[in-house]
Amino acid sequence: MPPIIILFDHPEFLVINKPSNISVQNESHQSGILPILCQQLKVEQLWLVHRLDKVTSGILILAKNSQAAAIFGQLFEERQMEKYYLAISAKKPKKKQGAIKGGMKKVRDSKWMLDSSDTAVAISQFFSFSIYQGLRLFLIKPLTGKTHQIRVALKSIGSPILGDELYKGLSADRTYLHAYCIRFIYQKKTICIICPPDKGDAFVCDETKLQITHLTTPWTLKWPNIKLPQQKNAG
């Protein structure tokens, strides 16, 4: 496979562009992103400080030492990491922008769903934009860090992610979910990384790329005020 793209190389951590369909850890039939990157960089160890689903591409942070990993652990726990994702759906949402909130409940076949409980509450904010041929581009800001959170959230508003067949998305050349932007303060310095998607026909077409050029400072959008639950962020 081609070398993993390094987006930002700090003395204490790396920010990479994770390809889709590679897990962060080893699987029985496939190497994970950690051993692949350690081999590529000729280092013995890197520390995973947050996760992306196997099907998700984009920004992933890896610490170079345990001290940096602990700092990132605290940043995620205190919700000091701003994360923004891009997704595409072939289904028009029930609403074009807003917030999605609910308790995450595990159901059969490794799937999750949202319910009205106050247990494991997941909160996501989003904007959506028409691109072409009935497709919609979503910009999502998760305020919590639950497993499959964005995938479940978009399914709950009638817009399962294109290619995400686990959650009833239409079949496609990939699952159209990408970690697009992250912003945080590390040792008193603001770090902001933007990584537009570069794989997937619907991501790289002219209409989608044009819309993404209008979303290069997602933190400046008028996101609604949301009250966060009093619980730790899973990152």
Would you say residue 169 lies in a domain? Answer: yes
List, for residues 46-72, the tens digit of each pLDDT value: 999 999 999 999 999 999 999 999 999
Domain membership of residue 175 as a residue range:
5-220
What's the pLDDT tens digit per position in 136-168? 999 999 999 888 999 999 999 999 999 999 999
The CATH number of whichever domain residue 60 belongs to comes to: 3.30.2350.10
pTM: 0.92
Of 53, 115, 173, 206, which is the active-site residue?
A: 53
Compute mean pLDDT per 10 residues along the chain, 235 residues long, and list them: 94 97 80 91 94 95 97 93 97 90 86 84 94 94 92 95 95 97 96 97 97 96 78 40
Cβ-Cβ contacts under 8 Å for 99 (sequence gap 6 or more): 123, 124, 125, 126, 224, 226
Q: How many CB atoms lie within 10 A of CB 190?
A: 8
For residue 234, tell me if it sits in a domain: no
When divided into structural domains, the chain yields a total of 1
Residue 96 resides in a domain:
yes
206 is catalytic: no
